[in-house]
Amino acid sequence: MLFIDNKYSRWYNSIITDVQKQNRKKLKRNQIGYVYYETHHIIPKCLGGNNTKDNLVHLTAREHFACHWLLTKMTEGKIKGKMYLALSMMCIESKNHVDRPRISSRQYERIKIAAIDALQGRKRSAEEIARAVASRKANPNGFTFKHTADSKAKLSKSKTGQKHSEELKLHWSKVRKGRPGIDNNSGKRYYNDGQKNYLTYECPAGCVAGKIQKQQTNYSNGTKWFNDGTKNYRANICPPGCVPGFLKNL
């Protein structure tokens, strides 16, 4: 049995059943009849639930919060800890979930303590570790999220026909005009005067496109390295004639 048979599970099933009868649909904010809904997994994914239509239901923010609170009352053991972690994430305010109900400080404290207790002594399975290692190797820069073909098509469709105001177009034109090159490390445009880097909006006259790279730093102890072409030296013992930088593969 996935859930404990108690009054909380009966309340949970009652909410889900009533909502399923309504056949709700998520609309955009500018559409007539719009109501803010959040998608909820009836059987949580940590209990084997999936993303099929039968396991998904659209709930109001208040219903969604209540259901996750009920899940902490109708589970036990490690699963109960996971339900508290999910509930604690719902306590975080977000611009995408502005309609979620506010809770008291005492309720928030109880939820966070239960979530922290659930993490204490938890060890990751061999499968989780292998998945994390594979993710790091495939994405050394830390960018692990990739849109599926379906999500790309939806994004493309949502942008099709979108029109920007003339004021916004003029603003973009002024910002981008005469500013070639993008620094791929940060996504920002840089210029330099030979000694210092500047962003586009603070670039003084006479600068050239590009970013001056910082001197090589040994991150193990924070000291800078110099070399004479054949050997590396720390900054405090660097002999005359050395140049900044760390020679690799000596």
Average pLDDT for consecutive 10-residue bins of the chain (250 residues)? 87 94 87 88 89 91 89 88 84 64 73 74 76 74 71 87 84 66 52 81 78 58 72 78 78
Question: Is-contact 118 91, C-beta < 8 A?
Answer: no
Q: Give pLDDT, residue 10.
A: 93
Q: Which of 12, 25, 96 is nearest to 61 (CA)?
A: 96
Confidence (pLDDT) at 99: 61
Phi, psi of 158 (to 5 degrees): -70, -30
**Residues β-bridged to residue 226:** 233, 244
Spell out the domain ranges in the chain: 7-121, 182-211, 214-250
Geometric angle at alpha carbon 87, from 95 and 28, rounded to 5°:
35
Cα angle 53, 132, 39; round to 5: 20
Give the Cα separation of 181 and 189 in Å (integer): 7
pLDDT of residue 43: 92
pLDDT at 188: 58
**H helix or E strand, kind and range, residue 45:** none
Element (H, E) at 57: strand 56-59
Closest CA to 79 of 23, 176, 3, 174: 3
pTM for the structure as a whole: 0.47
Give the C-alpha separation, 71 to 69, whole Å.
5
Question: What single DSSP character describes residue 24?
Answer: -
